Amino acid sequence: PSQHPIQRLLAALERGMDYFVLTDHNTMAGYSHLIEELSHMGEIGRLARERVISGVELSCRCAEVGEVHTNVFGLDEHQFEHINGFRDDSGLVRLEKLIPYLDSEGIVFGLNHPLWQPPHNNITTFKVVREVLTGLINPKMHNGEAISEKMVESLYGHMDPKDVERVYNGTLEIAGQFSFIEVNGSRVKTMNDIAEHIASQVGVPLCAGSDDHYGETLGLCHTIVRADDKWEFLEKLEKGEGEVVRKDTDFTNSCMRFVNFIRLTVECDSTNEVVNSLFESKLGKVSLLIAPKFIRLLYRSLNNHNPKAQRAVEIMASSYLKAQSIDVDSISVM
């Protein structure tokens, strides 16, 4: 319920946002549902619709990089259906067909989180737990820059250096074709620095967005454009007249994302399936047995370091135990 489109819109407006874009992956169903709901709310709904910009995040394939993601703003559902005709057998949109179409329609679109690549099962629960624990037991890791480096290392450490170079060079080749390059509030400093560097290299403006999945980063990273309506907003954004307000993710936000994922499993009808999928790894069911101990260890490690993160892990622990149908009151997270 907390992730219902209209709840996300209200949360954005409450945090001071003037415009709201819902960019679900490869679907506009959430946007359509939101507009339909607002259409039954009279004058208030009409005013709210003027604050909503249509959007979608497309998973695309290109020869130079592999898989890339793009946010497309201001398209209608007929245009989206046309775009679906550009998908290959794997379901990815062919970028060489998409870009000319978007240009011909005058649609604004951006290159999301440059250098991101699918993990291809290389990132497992075991690796994530190992990297987090490594950071927690090392006092030097309790700062944004060090954590950024460690997170980037854990995400890209499995890639061959030649692959990293190929993805970087390929990104430089295609980046100039986009309306803007994205920096977002769910990325660590190092990766947003890379995005800014790529934008400067190819002469494309930046656009800041939340990349908010569960509510923890909504509105923290945003773009200010002085415009009278959403269409002028998009036009000036493409011209590079936006002011980027960048806030990189930090250790607390990373914890909160994990916390919110666990919290949302409690709202889900198939809780056990979601929790099991979260802790699936090469360790199999063993990971489900060590998860509560890991949560408690995380709680103790954060104690006296960051009260907000400490409280976050407490919520995470109780939510996890509730999801497993365990009596929370009988177990201390300490």
Angstrom distance (rounded) from CA 151 to CA 67: 21
Give the distance from CA 182 to its chain's centroid: 11
pLDDT of residue 187: 86
pLDDT of residue 315: 54
CB atoms under 10 Å from CB of 273, counted, come to: 11
Angstrom distance (rounded) from CA 304 to CA 168: 40
This prediction has a pTM of 0.76
* Rg value, the chain, Cα: 21
Angstrom distance (rounded) from CA 210 to CA 207: 10
Helix H or strand E segment including 68: strand 66-73
Q: Which two tokens stand for residue 270?
A: 């198939």
For helices 251-267 and 271-278, what crossing angle results, to 10°? Answer: 150
Place of tokens 């250790």: 251
pLDDT of residue 145: 55
**Which stretches of the chain drop beneath a pLDDT of 70?**
1-2, 119-159, 251-252, 254-334
Task: Give the pairing of strands 20-21 and 93-94.
Answer: unpaired
pLDDT of residue 214: 76
pLDDT of residue 331: 36
pLDDT of residue 293: 53
Q: What is the pLDDT of residues 152-184, one digit of tens each?
A: 666 666 667 778 788 899 999 999 999 999 999
272-279, long-range: CB < 8 A, 24+ apart: 272/323, 272/324, 274/323, 275/320, 275/323, 275/324, 278/125, 279/125
Q: Which two tokens stand for residue 56?
A: 């979608």
- Check if the beta carbon of residue 251 is closer than 8 Å to that of residue 144: yes
Tell me the residue type at 239. Answer: K
- Check if the beta carbon of residue 248 is closer than 8 Å to that of residue 192: yes
Angstrom distance (rounded) from CA 270 to CA 217: 26
pLDDT of residue 281: 40
Residue from 76, 308, 99, 109 nearest 209 by CA: 109
CB atoms under 10 Å from CB of 329, counted, come to: 8
